[in-house]
Amino acid sequence: MIQDVRPGGTPFKRLFFALPVSEAQRRALAQWRRGLNLRSGKPVPAANFHVTLLFLGDVDTAQVPAICAAVDQLSLSSAAPRLVLDRLQVWQRASALVLEAQQTPPALLQLVYSLQQALLPLGVEAADREYRPHLTLARDYRGQPPEASSAPDFYLAARHFTLYESRKGAYWPLAQWPLSS
Catalytic residues: 50, 134
User: For residue 157, what are the contacts with CB-CB under 8 A and spacing of at least 6?
Assistant: 80, 82, 83
Q: Which residues, in sequence order, are bridge partners of residue 55?
A: 16
Rounded CA separation 94/79 (Å): 31
Question: Which contacts qualify for 170-174: CB closer than 8 Å, 24 or more apart?
Answer: 170/47, 170/48, 171/18, 171/47, 171/48, 171/50, 173/20, 174/13, 174/15, 174/64, 174/68
Rounded CA separation 156/105 (Å): 11
Rounded CA separation 54/64 (Å): 15
Burial of 59 (0-12, 13-18, 19+ CB in 10 A): buried
